[in-house]
Amino acid sequence: MRLLILGALEGHLTAASQIALTRGAKVSHADTIDKGLQALRAGQGADLVMIDVRLPIARFMESLKTERITIPVVACGIGTDADTAVRAIKAGAKEYVPLPPDAALIAAVLEAVAEESNAVIFKDVAMAQVIKLAEQIAPSDASVLITGESGTGKEVMARYLHSKSRRADQKFVALNCAAIPENLLESELFGHEKGAFTGAVARRIGKFEEANGGTLLLDEISEMDPRLQAKLLRVIQEREIDRVGGTTPVKVNVRLIATSNRNLEEEVKNGNFREDLYFRLNVFNLALPPLRKRPQDIHVLAEHFVKKYSEANGIDIRPLSAKAIARLQGHHWKGNVRELENTLHRAVLLASGTEIGPEAIMLTGEQPGTAPVAEVPSFQAATDDGDDDTRSTVEALGLGKLVGRTVADVERDLIIDTLKHCLGNRTHAANILGISIRTLRNKLRQYTEEGVPVPMPGEAETA
């Protein structure tokens, strides 16, 4: 955990820094916003920023947004003045921590930010085989390609590899290639010089330089544009990068881990991914099995998530009933561990009584209190004698809403509704829809040009 503290390091803020240090955090300090931004641009990196509420938080948050620096920010100040806390939250801070600092509260904030633990929870033999291979290859500097369906825990595995490697005391830096627009991904990877393009207000160190000496994770690398794939291949071969707008190559030393939820061999055959880059990345391949193929992990993971979200919500930990476990084990888990986690989070909040029963297990697509969806009866085409029956069946299935509409209209509504369900997260929506992030972006660009409102990241479903 890397903690950056912004503000005058005196009194209570010094105490907060000491608490963080005792909890294992690496703490750095800048007394002004400008110095803090300079440190972040220079590749110092941070997993969390604690900022003195007396500093202009709104200006700091706007600078982070403009320069595409994504870091959770927690405000802190003396006392528990409600107005001060509200102003900090409205400015963009995720939390407000009162000073003088409480050791348990500081620890909780650090733990919440660092919840992507290096520990991999498993029991099934299928996962045990993957862990055994991971531990064998972790000490090397060879590139690793982690493959598996969405939600199987590819980033968790990457962090586990880093924790078991010779670089464990160095930085672990992650970049989601699918979450960054193509025209900005090069700058995120390799950095840029001041004035290299519109919005480049200062020199910015890229992820390769930030991870120098440590490990760089390129998440969902299959979504990277082929032009940029060629530049990445050169970096791997030459071990040096060129900043956008720069004139001097910069030497880098990183251990590269990449992930993909697609079949890269098929992507190579289809011309979407460079074969030479694929072989460079695929020195070792860790293929994570889907949750449905590691059934013994469902129970142990479910108990882990019950404990996690019970503690997070201040609820007594209740055991899962036998019927609840059976319901979990009977589900297909298309979204894998991520879907299971969301299901157990809901269950913890919905359960009543001394245990979590099957009625609290709201599987994907269900509403609270409803039974599992029954199989839909089939029906034949209408005949003169069966018009009423057919009409009632069509109404029951909701097909009347589709009749008379074009395929393009139905597709648009499906994409927009899925995006709302995913709170604007493009990657999750694309996975649910079964299309590439590139296809989804093209569709959304078309809808925007047509004047259709497109949900932005963080926008929830509306009733």
Would you say the CATH fold of 128-289 matches that of 2-113? yes
Report the C-alpha gap between 141 and 215 in whole angstroms.
9
CATH 3.40.50.2300, applies to 2-113: yes
HEC string of 27-90 equals: EEEECCHHHHHHHHHCCCCCCEEEEECCCCHHHHHHHHHHCCCCCCEEEEEECCCHHHHHHHHH
Q: pLDDT tens digits for 244-269?
A: 998 899 999 999 999 999 999 999 99
14-71 pLDDT, tens digit each: 777 777 777 777 888 888 999 989 888 877 778 889 898 889 999 999 888 887 787 8
**Predicted pLDDT at 380:** 40
Q: What's the topology of domain 387-449?
A: Arc Repressor Mutant, subunit A (1.10.10)
Query: How many angstroms separate the CA atoms of 152 and 297, rounded?
Result: 12
Tell me the CATH architecture of domain 292-360: Orthogonal Bundle (1.10)
Q: Where are the domains of the chain?
A: 2-113, 128-289, 292-360, 387-449
pLDDT value of residue 281: 96
Q: What is the pLDDT of residue 376?
A: 36
pLDDT, tens only, 287-344: 999 999 999 999 999 999 999 888 877 789 999 999 999 999 999 999 999 999 989 9
From CA 447, how far away is CA 314, in angstroms rounded? 43
Evaluate the CA torsion angle 78, 81, 87, 89 in order and state its sign.
positive
Listed range (100-114, 366-380, 418-432) with the worst mean pLDDT: 366-380
Fold type of domain 128-289: Rossmann fold (3.40.50)
How high is the pLDDT of residue 384? 44
